[in-house]
Amino acid sequence: MTQTQELVAWTHQQKCEKAVESLGKNGFTALYCPTADSAREYILKEAASAQAIGFGGSLSVVDLQVIEALRSQGKELLIHNVPGLSSEERLAILRRQLTCDLFLTGSNAVTLSGSLVNIDGVGNRAASMFFGPRQVIVVVGRNKLVDGDINDAIKRVKNWASPPNAKRLNYNTPCAKTGFCSDCNSPDRICRVTTIIDRKPRLTDMRVLVVNEELGL
């Protein structure tokens, strides 16, 4: 690692640890993970007692490469975006995610004061985060941290998450072509549900892993 890389990693570590401290004060079980591998190990350990595991479609979770490991352990994986599913099958999986044993997701933004901000098109991912699953683990790469307020967090999502996600999902939105949000009124608009989780939801075992690596969008 070069000196520059070391200093960058150290600076990110301070932000990550600040977020972990704030999330802890807000009632979440929050952990600092120096690497994606350490987050992966934590998830695989926590998943030991879960049978049905839901995925919110998060690239952060894909980046951790936990899916194949869980599949090889014989877990039931509730993944709604695999090719070949009919719309009825897809909807059934989305509904089952709401009551699974363990739900794995990312978060579009997390403020250093410990709030999770998400914007969804359907709302399944955001809903499964705060009520329903027995346990929720949220994976947050350092690129998701926002040193600002809720409006800054929403701006991060509109600037850095929604446009590439619309492109990834092949949606016909202005941002999928330009990379910039124009607050569209497109039928394909993916920004329809905005949630702010600013304290641990009372009945949900919710854990937040703040990882000192870039994960997801």
Residue ranges binding ligand SF4 (CB under 6 A):
158, 162-163, 166, 173-175, 181-184, 186, 189-191
Q: Torsions phi, psi of 165, nearest 5?
A: -70, -40
**CB 193 to ligand SF4: min, Å:** 11
Closest to ligand SF4 by CB, 25 or 168: 168
Closest to ligand SF4 by CB, 18 or 155: 155
Closest to ligand SF4 by CB, 104 or 176: 176
**CB 109 to ligand SF4: min, Å:** 13
Q: List the Cα angle 206/211/214 in 5-degree steps.
A: 125
Closest to ligand SF4 by CB, 53 or 175: 175
> SS3 sequence, the chain?
CCHHHHHHHHHHHHHHHHHHHHHHHCCCEEEEECCHHHHHHHHHHHHHHCCEEEECCCHHHHHHCCHHHHHHCCCEEECCCCCCCCHHHHHHHHHHHCCCCEEEEECCEEECCCCEEEEECCCHHHHHHHCCCCEEEEEEEHHHEECCCHHHHHHHHHHHHHHHHHHHCCCCCHHHHHCCCCCCCCCCCCCCEEEEECCCCCCCEEEEEEECCCCCC
Closest to ligand SF4 by CB, 137 or 154: 154
**CB 102 to ligand SF4: min, Å:** 29
Q: Which residues pair with 192 in a beta bridge?
A: none
Closest to ligand SF4 by CB, 13 or 143: 143
